[in-house]
Amino acid sequence: MSAHTKNPDTAYQVMKYVTTGTGTRLLAKYGIGIPGNVAVSKTSDFTNEYNPYTQTWLKGLTTGRTPRLIPQYDKFYDAVNTAFKTYWTGQTSLDSAASTACSGAQSLLPK
């Protein structure tokens, strides 16, 4: 939580809700991130939503970061993010940004 939040009590309650109990179970069930609560991450709500990648995602709980599923992940992310930045800032159309992103991603794939 940011030290500059305008509503620290409310922010705390939201954080508590999405990291414990019902909130985290709902997030797990609908595939919205990896639950920070290890016990919830082992429930059928989570494991059924993420199969067949459950074990890969659960490894993220031990490192605090989702394991890379894509070779050259950082380069892939940078290529796509850079391409879409031009769309988000109104410099290009969505089609143009998507085309550039695809070209950047394609260049990273094995030939």
pLDDT tens-place string over residues 1-50: 778 888 889 988 888 887 776 777 777 676 666 666 677 777 787 777 77
- Model-level pTM? 0.38
Residue pair 86/97 in contact by the 8 Å Cβ criterion? yes
Can you give the residue ranges of every domain in the chain? 8-63, 73-106
Instruction: Report how far residue 104's alpha carbon sits from residue 78's, in angstroms, rounded to the nearest whole number.
Output: 9
Mean per-residue pLDDT of the chain: 78
Instruction: Report how far residue 96's alpha carbon sits from residue 111's, in angstroms, rounded to the nearest whole number.
Output: 24
pLDDT tens-place string over residues 59-100: 766 666 555 555 677 788 888 889 999 898 999 999 999 999
> Cis (ω within 30 of 0) for the bond into 52?
yes
